[in-house]
Amino acid sequence: MKPSYYSRKEAIRECAIESIRSIKVVLKDPEIEFNTEETVLISKEGQKTSLKMSEMSHQESELSVVFKTDTPLTLTESYEFSLTDDIQAPVMFGAVVRTPEFDETFFYDGQLGASYSKDETEIKLWAPTAQSVVLKIYDGFNEDSPVKQKIQMKQTERGTYTTVLSGDQDQLVYTFQLTFADGSTTESPDPYATAAIVNGMRSVVVNPETVALPGQKRLPAFSSATDAIIYETHIRDLTIAKNSGVALKGKFLGAIEEGTQTPTGQKTGFDYICDLGVTHVQFLPMYDYGTVDEAKPDVPQYNWGYDPQNYNVPEGSYSTDATNPKTRILEMKQMIEDYHDKGLRVIMDVVYNHVFEVPNHPFHLTVPGYFFRYLPDGYLADGTGVNNDVASERKMVRKYIVDSIEYWTKNYNLDGFRFDLMGILDVETMNEVRRVVDKIDPSIIILGEGWNLDTPLAADKKAIQKNANQMPSIAHFNDSLRDSVKGHVFYATEPGMVNGGKGLEKLVIQNMLGANGLEGYQNPNQVVQYVEAHDNYTLYDKLVLTNPNDTEDIRRKRHTLSTGIAMLSQGISFIHAGQEFLRTKSGDENSYRSTDAINQFDWSRVEAEHEAVTFFKELVSLRKSEPLFRMTSYEDIKQHSTVKFAEEGQIIFELFNDEQHYLISINTNEESRQSPFDLSDYQLILSNHATETEHFTFLPLSLSVYKK
Ligand code: CA
């Protein structure tokens, strides 16, 4: 008699295809007896594939065995594993989902998600590891609305499941219920959903005509990327302050209210941004993210939004009614349209490098193990520092990212995308993104954080700064300028050139002239020049840490000098909202979920620092008026610039062509310096010392632009 506990469920904990020629079996009883000659895989039709044991290891009280086959397994087959005559288990998909053979077998290049027409809607899900998929249809938009109908979906080509629903299915609420070989089930929203109920865990079919804005179209193509001046802000920060004068505070529609001001008459919100002269407004994530409860609009909640839930749906908490799936779509489109009407372009921050919670994300719920990178021990890789790395190099992940960008570009007329932690993604995916937007509008700006992070992807495949030469027309945040100007972001008190750092003159000017020779940059349009972004201390707060004994006036000079350096650098200009008025977050280094009080625009500070704001506007208009400040090739920069002096805390350089001649002086010393050159032919046209200019003396902590 065999022991009665040898039912398959109790004997085998896990049985999964590891690769095209191997399966891994975990046995709960390490003493279990079996004959390796008799272990086989049995197909549905009863065909047997013999197995050879290749590895065996004891893990705590279990036995893990790897079996190999001589003939490759058929991934479209359902196998049963047979250890002995009476111990069998269904074979799951294991690590094989992360092999090229899996992509070759199941890559599907067609349309996924809901395809709507008046007469019928086709819903298609890619779920090659599921044994069956049921479409669950709900009665209503609430999170607890009851199930109305369940429909068994038909298995179609290359791991897809399809249902065609006849009739007008506008506003149909649905999820997928997937069953896997071992009987386990998941319920998932549609990864390709373009609309969702409140909090995003159910998807909604939408008739595209009902969410189209009449007359909505793209702006004419933008000029060169180096003409861009990008202003980075957050939907809620912009209007949430009590004195903003905005009615729909913290909403998409609040970000386009016109004629708003503080009680003392300071322009706020949309009007304030329009007055700055910037060319592009970049919003922190405004797709659907997980950390704000959309069902509680009256409870103050804050998050930057780097926790993706539905990649192709706008965030509900920014709409005036998150319970109506169409409202957020219409309002976000309206917002973008109104920026366009003012000639301003909109860049969306996209976070394809990780998701909020793997267990609750459609990626994991529909094809477990496929969409993320894993370490050899089976744990999720964590190069992002937020517990998961999206595996962009896999074919269906790449398709997903590219499809998503195409969807936003076509349907929301966006003018650019900022890729969060782009260095997690791979070069080929970024180039595919570039190709797909180029077909719509080659002037769309793609920029990203090309940081080199510890994720399991070959170094030459990472979309990082060093590989910029493999990704033409994709721009990288230039941390070398940022850190050489104000000090490293990870070492709070480490100074850069403007706050006491020594020996940085040559690095700063190399960066200012487009970072030629640094990383893999081929062209100034690949370099985003900045000294402050939403991450880390604001420039002002950093200067408080590095130079605590500065007077407010000296700190202001260091600050405007830094902003001036970034704005007069060759490349794409980038400024963090509020940097122009010396934004402070009161020393909060990472305000991603801090209160409104920390994150909101402080309009009284805008008034108090109006000279700094004016200086910023002057920088903007100088940059816009003169192509020499925004050259488009390293060849041009070489021909049209000369560095005259770069030591002792000073940089003096010239930009010139046949008609124009500019001399730019940067003096980071706390005392004046006499010009070593005769400047009698020059006129001072711009300085961060607005009211105390001396013609031929470089004032302490000054940035001066002369023209002859
Ligand atoms: Ca949300």
Give the tens place of pLDDT for each residue, 364-417. 999 999 999 999 988 999 999 999 999 999 999 999 999 999 999 999 999 999
**Residue 156 C-alpha to ligand 1 middle, in angstroms?**
32
pLDDT for 2 beyond 50: no
pLDDT for 32 beyond 90: no
Predicted confidence band of residue 424 (pLDDT cuts 50, 70, 90): very high
pLDDT for 692 beyond 90: no
pLDDT for 1 beyond 60: no
Residue partners of 321: CB distance under 8 A and separation at least 6: 327
What does the radius of gyration of the chain's CA atoms come to, in whole angstroms?
29
Give me the pLDDT at residue 695, please.
Answer: 67
**Residue 203 C-alpha to ligand 1 middle, in angstroms?**
13
| Contact predicate 66/15, CB 8 Å | no
Q: What is the pTM of this model?
A: 0.97
Whether 139 is catalytic = no
**Residue 335 C-alpha to ligand 1 middle, in angstroms?**
18
Task: Determine the length of the chain.
Answer: 708
**Residue 309 C-alpha to ligand 1 middle, in angstroms?**
7
Q: Which helix (H) or strand (E) holds 313?
A: strand 308-314
Closest by CA to 288, choosing from 166, 199, 221, 359, is: 199
**Residue 252 C-alpha to ligand 1 middle, in angstroms?**
14
Location of structure tokens 């009902």: 210
Q: How many CB atoms lie within 10 A of CB 457?
A: 23
Location of structure tokens 């001046």: 229
Give the integer Cα–Cα distance in Å for 33 and 19. 25
Mean pLDDT along residues 20-30:
93
Task: State pLDDT tens for residues 320-356.
Answer: 999 999 999 999 999 999 999 999 999 999 999 999 9
Task: State pLDDT tens for residues 258-312.
Answer: 999 999 999 999 999 999 999 999 999 999 999 999 999 999 999 999 999 999 9
Tally of helices (H runs) and strands (E runs) in the chain: 16, 35
Question: Which tokens go with 417?
Answer: 């995308």
Question: Which tokens go with 648?
Answer: 């002792």
Residue 404: phi, psi to the nearest 5? -65, -45
Give the integer Cα–Cα distance in Å for 540 and 82. 67
Lowest mean pLDDT among 53-67, 253-267, 649-663: 53-67
Q: In what order do the strands lie in the sheet with 52-59?
A: 52-59, 62-68, 22-27, 12-19, 92-93
Task: State pLDDT tens for residues 170-200.
Answer: 999 999 999 999 999 999 999 999 999 999 9
Whether 494 is catalytic = no
Burial of 658 (0-12, 13-18, 19+ CB in 10 A): exposed
pLDDT for 439 beyond 50: yes
Q: Which of 393, 420, 432, 618 is catalytic?
A: 420
**Residue 371 C-alpha to ligand 1 middle, in angstroms?**
21
Q: What is the mean pLDDT of the chain?
A: 96
Question: Which tokens go with 436?
Answer: 């797909």
Q: Which of 449, 483, 519, 580 is catalytic?
A: 449
Give me the pLDDT at residue 520, please.
Answer: 98
**Residue 292 C-alpha to ligand 1 middle, in angstroms?**
6
Location of structure tokens 């970072």: 515
Predicted confidence band of residue 59 (pLDDT cuts 50, 70, 90): confident
Give me the pLDDT at residue 126, please.
Answer: 98
DSSP assignment letter at 376 = T
| Contact predicate 317/288, CB 8 Å | no
**Residue 426 C-alpha to ligand 1 middle, in angstroms?**
27
**Residue 281 C-alpha to ligand 1 middle, in angstroms?**
22
**Residue 315 C-alpha to ligand 1 middle, in angstroms?**
5
Quickly list H helices, 202-324: 235-239, 269-276
Lowest mean pLDDT among 43-47, 302-306, 664-668: 43-47
**Residue 125 C-alpha to ligand 1 middle, in angstroms?**
22
Mean pLDDT along residues 147-163:
98
In order of 249, 319, 329, 579, 598, the CA distances from 589 in angstroms are: 25, 28, 33, 15, 11
> Strand runs (DSSP E) across 389-544, as ranges?
416-419, 445-448, 475-477, 527-529
Q: Which amino acid is at 422?
A: M
> Strand runs (DSSP E) across 407-544, as ranges?
416-419, 445-448, 475-477, 527-529
Question: Which tokens go with 177?
Answer: 């219920």
Burial of 342 (0-12, 13-18, 19+ CB in 10 A): middle
Give me the pLDDT at residue 4, please.
Answer: 44
